[in-house]
Amino acid sequence: MPAPDRIVRLKTVLSRTGLSRSTIYRKIAEGTFPAQIKISVNGAGWHESEINRWIENPVGWRPRKEVPFSNGD
């Protein structure tokens, strides 16, 4: 069973990517960096796997296609 995907906060993302805060938010708006996910009323973070995927290929990174949910009906 794979380990659950951790949620990392902005401070971790800044140190792992070497990008500035403004660059991260600009790239999110451009669609060239993973978007944040809401984790509480005032908190947000990123899936660590998406940050790792971006680090592996920053130029070629694109959001994964969402697979529609099917309940088997």
For residue 71, CA distances in Å to 12, 59, 64, 66 come to 36, 36, 21, 15
Question: Is 29 contained in some domain?
Answer: yes
Overall domain count for the chain: 1
Q: Return d(Cα 2, Cα 15) in angstroms, integer.
A: 25
- Assess if residue 16 is contained within a domain: yes
Contacts of 31 (CB under 8 A, 6+ apart): 62, 63
Q: Supply the pLDDT for residue 53.
A: 95
**71 three-state secondary structure:** coil
Q: Quick check: is 43 in a domain?
A: yes
pTM for this prediction: 0.81
Where in the sequence is the domain holding 33, given as residue range(s)?
7-56
Query: Is residue 66 domain-resident?
Result: no
| Position 69 in a domain | no
> pLDDT tens, 34-53?
999 999 999 999 999 999 99
Query: Residue 8: its pLDDT value, please?
Result: 96
Residue 64, pLDDT score:
82
pLDDT at site 3: 66
Which stretches of the chain drop beneath a pLDDT of 50?
A: none
Q: Is residue 70 part of a domain?
A: no
Model pLDDT, residue 70: 54
